[in-house]
Amino acid sequence: GMTTKDRPKSMKEQRDSIFTVMKLTDENRLKMHELISENGKAQKAIKEDTTLTDQQRKEKLIVWKKKMSVKEKSILTSEQFLMWRDFGKSVSNKSK
């Protein structure tokens, strides 16, 4: 039969494995999951806001992502933050 190794990992599994590599505490893991969920909702809201022009949407997303970085940095050590950033880059490259 199929082993779990054969199927592509879900986003949550990928995140959990990077959190393990980052040696996040349970508390910080929870904080990061909450942040990710908040991030997803906010980005969706911005993208679906029909009152905004494309340019305004782009700007809002940039501002929002900066806010997210600040929040992430308040949870993570600088080393963990870099690992998290690299992980984010590798994920967004795959989905293109």
Which pLDDT score is estimated for 92? 77
Give the pLDDT score at 91.
Answer: 78
Average pLDDT over residues 39-61: 97
State pLDDT tens for residues 2-17. Answer: 565 667 788 889 999 9
Q: Which two tokens stand for residue 16?
A: 């959990």
Mean pLDDT of 51-72: 97
pLDDT at 66: 96
Q: Report the alpha-carbon distance of residue 44 to residue 35 in Å, rounded.
A: 14
pTM over 0.85: no
CA–CA distance, 30 with 77 (Å, rounded to integer):
15
CA angle in degrees (0–180, nearest 5) for 41-26-91 = 45
**Which segments of 1-96 does DSSP mark as H helices, in order?**
11-21, 26-47, 54-75, 78-95
Q: What pLDDT, on the 0 to 100 scale, is given for residue 6? A: 67
